[in-house]
């Protein structure tokens, strides 16, 4: 019996890395070269990045491997916010900011990335799956035929990031009015409350009286 | 096929047969479709969830929740705040079990920083976590009665929840929004007399559970209104990402407190994960009742073994979290609550995905309400148990 189909072994007794390495190998046999990159933190978590065209296929493969529990689906906009943390004085000239797009674990090539997580219900091991979403045509195949729960998550992602899902039954807005323009969780969407009045609260720690400014002191 | 599976099958078949009979009757009577709006303001809904139900006679043809009446955009707001400031935001996601919301976020930040809270802080975190579960779910048990037309349980629930809230207030200074968890430990140690007081309250809460069991769960009307109603099979629950008591009521033996290793104290004590094979409304409510009782036992054991020492690890005064990504989820009162934190080595998170339990738990509503009767809508919604802030975030 392969470790992926055992049900009784508690997670603590399985050496995390061999189990997760096996998951990567299993996934590679299913989707082949569409598995672009992976990152494994032993005993902690696993990240894989797949080809955009193989997004649905990956969902099918993972489900057949026993990852039946759908945890969440969302996206990440890797562009640094042109507005910073909203701490600027709106009347002053705009500050110069680094605008290079740097992707996180398991790499990437585009500004937008889709992120989903599925979990194996008896092994209690999860996989974070990422895929690139192109700027010119931000459409990915829907997961809702595979995991029914992806329906609402995709609606939310569509509304917040402007990513389309081909094959989704009903991509209506989840929270915002239907005539709302823009995608609020994109980094280039300004947080209006901060645009009107800069927030002083970003300076979290005030200098101590006496002028000691060492950062290694004890908290509080 | 095991005996429990065949039991579910029989119940489902009987239910489907009764629905089919009603559908035939509706055809004979030439009933017309009607759309019923429940909420956003209705005494029988928790807060401002709106359910649009299309009815044929007394049966629901399709129903759909309409969210967004309480969307506050926390994911966007975390991007403009520093790590220690985020806890005061996430407190307000599930407002009945606030402390439990802070823990996974702090654990995710600690994971990225490579910091671990000292043992005493881990113990106190676990105690406060379980106290918020007790406060949250005891109110659910009371509210459950109200939804089904029984008024007494809610008074009992408010009475006994008050004791727990007093404990949380004594320890943290806040009844509803403690904002007590810090990266590296806790804001403060426990106050004097907390341990004895908590022991006494836990005893009261166990009595409350027994009272509820007799008063509500043994009640014939309660049973006939919940048993076999809103049955969710295991595989459907998995696909929708149901978690917590809703998943365990479908017979899935899965509890994140037991099944993952976190720097918390759950693995240091002896307790049981309750499951129920039926997957109906009754099972979901029953599991929650058992979990309150189990939580009081966890707290009692933790109070006995609480280690001495500091409650705060050595962390820099200005917290900068190294670049990386981390996912941490815990078994909150409502189910799996997790944070996917992306850090760019800044003072605040670059992106936080908040995976709240109620969002997934409620996404099953269109599936589970199909074909049920109007009064059962309320029972099923109550048994799925959601907090509005936890759906919309």
Question: pLDDT tens digit string along A133-146?
Answer: 888 888 888 998 88
Distance CA(A155)–CA(B233), nearest Å, equals 24
pLDDT at A122 over 50: yes
Arithmetic mean of pLDDT, B25-29:
66
Arithmetic mean of pLDDT, B88-97:
86
B147 touches B379 (CB < 8 A): yes
Arithmetic mean of pLDDT, B75-102:
86
The verdict on residue B282 lying in a domain is yes
Range of the domain at B109: 72-360
B94 touches B389 (CB < 8 A): yes
Q: What is the 3-state secondary structure (H, E, C) of B11-50?
A: HHHHHHHHHHHHHHHHHHCCCCEEEEEECCCCCCCCCCCE
Per-residue model confidence as pLDDT tens digits over B165-198: 999 999 988 888 888 888 888 888 888 888 899 9
B132 touches B102 (CB < 8 A): no
Rg over CA atoms, chain B: 22
Measured from the Cβ of residue B49, the count of other Cβ atoms closer than 10 Å reads 25
Q: Lowest-pLDDT range, B40-44, B95-99, B181-185?
A: B40-44
pLDDT at B25 over 50: yes
Distance CA(B371)–CA(B54), nearest Å, equals 10
CB half-sphere exposure, A217, CA atoms < 13 A: 11
Arithmetic mean of pLDDT, A103-118:
86
Q: Kindly report the nearest CA distance between residue A178 and chain B, in angstroms.
A: 12
Instruction: Give residue A9's pLDDT band: very low, low, confident or very high (50, 70, 90).
Output: very low
The verdict on residue B185 lying in a domain is yes
Residue of A nearest to B77 (CA): A191
The verdict on residue B260 lying in a domain is yes
* Total tally of structural domains belonging to chain B: 1
Extract the tokens encoding B143: 């509210």
B249 touches B278 (CB < 8 A): yes
pLDDT at A16 over 60: no
> How many helices (H) does chain B have, and how many strands (E)?
16, 8
Quote the pTM value.
0.83
Nearest C-alpha neighbor of B261 from the set A21, A123, A40, A11: A11
What share of chain B has pLDDT > 70, as a percent? 92
pLDDT at A50 over 70: yes
Arithmetic mean of pLDDT, A150-171:
89
- Helix axis angle, B194-212 relative to B281-305, nearest 10°? 160
Q: Is B260's CB within 8 Å of A149's CB?
A: no
Task: Compute the count of residue pairs across chains A and B with CB atoms less than 8 Å apart.
Answer: 140
Which of chain B's residues have a Cβ under 8 Å away from the Cβ of A151? 363
Q: Lowest-pLDDT range, A65-79, B12-26, B212-226, B348-362?
A: B12-26
pLDDT at A2 over 50: no
Q: Lowest-pLDDT range, A42-46, A85-89, B18-22, B359-363?
A: A85-89
Nearest C-alpha neighbor of B327 from the set A35, A56, A41, A17: A41
Which of chain B's residues have a Cβ under 8 Å away from the Cβ of A45? 326-327
pLDDT at A116 over 60: yes
Comparison of pLDDT for B165 and A19, the residue scoring more: B165
The verdict on residue B319 lying in a domain is yes
B123 touches B302 (CB < 8 A): yes
Q: Residue B42: its pLDDT value, please?
A: 57
- For B187-244, give the DSSP string: SSPPPTTHHHHHHHHHHHHHHHHHHHIIIIIT-HHHHHHHTTSS---HHHHHHHT--T
Comparison of pLDDT for B26 and B375, the residue scoring more: B375
The verdict on residue B78 lying in a domain is yes
Report chain A's mean pLDDT, rounded to a whole number: 78
Instruction: Give residue B105's pLDDT band: very low, low, confident or very high (50, 70, 90).
Output: very high
Question: What's the CATH code of the domain at B275?
Answer: 1.10.645.10
Which of chain A's residues have a Cβ under 8 Å away from the Cβ of B353? 72, 74, 76, 115
Residue of A nearest to B351 (CA): A76
The verdict on residue B330 lying in a domain is yes
DSSP element (H, E) containing B139: helix B119-147
* 3 state SS of B115: coil
Q: Is A72's CB within 8 Å of B184's CB?
A: no
pLDDT at B232 over 60: yes
């Amino acid at each position: 019996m392969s470790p992926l189909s055992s049900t009784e072994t508690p997670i603590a007794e399985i050496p995390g890395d061999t189990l997760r390495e096996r998951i990567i190998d299993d996934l590679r046999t299913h989707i082949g070269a569409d598995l672009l990159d992976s990152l494994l933190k032993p005993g902690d978590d696993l990240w894989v990045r797949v080809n955009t065209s193989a997004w649905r296929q990956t969902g099918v493969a993972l489900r057949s491997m026993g990852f039946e529990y759908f945890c969440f689906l969302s996206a990440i906009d890797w562009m640094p916010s042109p507005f910073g943390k909203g701490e600027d004085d709106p009347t002053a000239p705009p500050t110069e900011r680094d605008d290079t797009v740097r992707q996180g674990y398991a790499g990437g090539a585009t500004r937008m990335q889709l992120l989903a997580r599925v979990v194996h219900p008896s092994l209690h091991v999860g996989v974070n799956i990422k895929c690139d979403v192109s700027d010119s045509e931000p459409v990915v195949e829907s997961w809702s035929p595979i995991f029914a729960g992806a329906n609402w998550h995709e609606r939310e992602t569509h509304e917040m990031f402007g990513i389309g899902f081909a094959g989704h039954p009903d991509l209506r807005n989840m929270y915002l009015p239907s005539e709302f323009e823009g995608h609020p969780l994109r980094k280039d969407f300004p947080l209006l409350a901060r645009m009107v009045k800069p927030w002083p609260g970003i300076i979290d720690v005030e200098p101590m009286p006496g002028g000691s400014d060492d950062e290694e002191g004890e908290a509080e | 096929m095991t005996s429990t599976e065949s039991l579910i099958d029989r119940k489902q078949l009987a239910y489907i047969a009764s629905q089919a009979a009603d559908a035939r009757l509706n055809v004979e009577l030439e009933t017309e479709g009607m759309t019923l709006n429940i909420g956003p303001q209705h005494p029988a809904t928790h807060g401002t969830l709106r359910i649009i139900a299309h009815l044929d006679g007394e049966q629901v043809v399709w129903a759909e929740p309409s969210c967004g009446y309480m969307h506050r955009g926390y994911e966007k707001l975390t991007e403009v705040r520093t790590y220690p400031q985020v806890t005061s935001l996430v407190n307000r996601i599930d407002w009945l079990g606030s402390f439990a919301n802070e823990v996974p976020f702090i654990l995710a930040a600690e994971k990225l920083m490579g910091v671990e809270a000292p043992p005493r802080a881990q113990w106190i975190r676990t105690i406060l976590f379980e106290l918020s579960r007790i406060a949250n779910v005891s109110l659910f048990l009371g509210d459950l009665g109200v939804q089904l037309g029984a008024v007494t349980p809610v008074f009992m629930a408010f009475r006994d929840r008050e004791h727990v809230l007093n404990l949380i207030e004594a320890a943290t200074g806040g009844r509803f929004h403690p904002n007590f968890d810090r990266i590296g430990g806790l804001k403060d140690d426990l106050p004097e007399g907390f341990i004895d007081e908590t022991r006494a309250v836990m005893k009261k809460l166990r009595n409350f559970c027994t009272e509820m069991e007799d008063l509500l769960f043994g009640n014939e009307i309660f049973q006939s209104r919940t048993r076999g109603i809103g049955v969710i099979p295991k595989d459907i629950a998995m696909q929708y990402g149901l978690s917590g008591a809703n998943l365990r009521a479908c017979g899935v033996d899965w509890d994140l407190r037991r099944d993952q290793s976190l720097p918390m104290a759950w693995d240091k004590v002896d307790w049981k994960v309750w499951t129920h094979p039926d997957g109906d409304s009754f099972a979901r409510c029953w599991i929650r009742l058992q979990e309150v009782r189990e939580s009081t036992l966890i707290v009692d054991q933790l109070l006995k073994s609480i280690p001495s020492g500091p409650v705060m690890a050595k962390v820099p005064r200005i917290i900068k979290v190294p670049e990386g990504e981390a996912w941490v989820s815990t078994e909150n009162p409502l189910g799996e609550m997790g944070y996917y934190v992306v850090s760019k080595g800044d003072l605040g998170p670059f992106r936080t995905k908040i995976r709240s339990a109620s969002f997934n738990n409620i996404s099953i509503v269109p599936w589970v309400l199909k074909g049920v009767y109007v009064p059962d809508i309320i029972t099923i919604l109550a048994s799925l148990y959601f907090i509005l802030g936890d759906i919309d975030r």
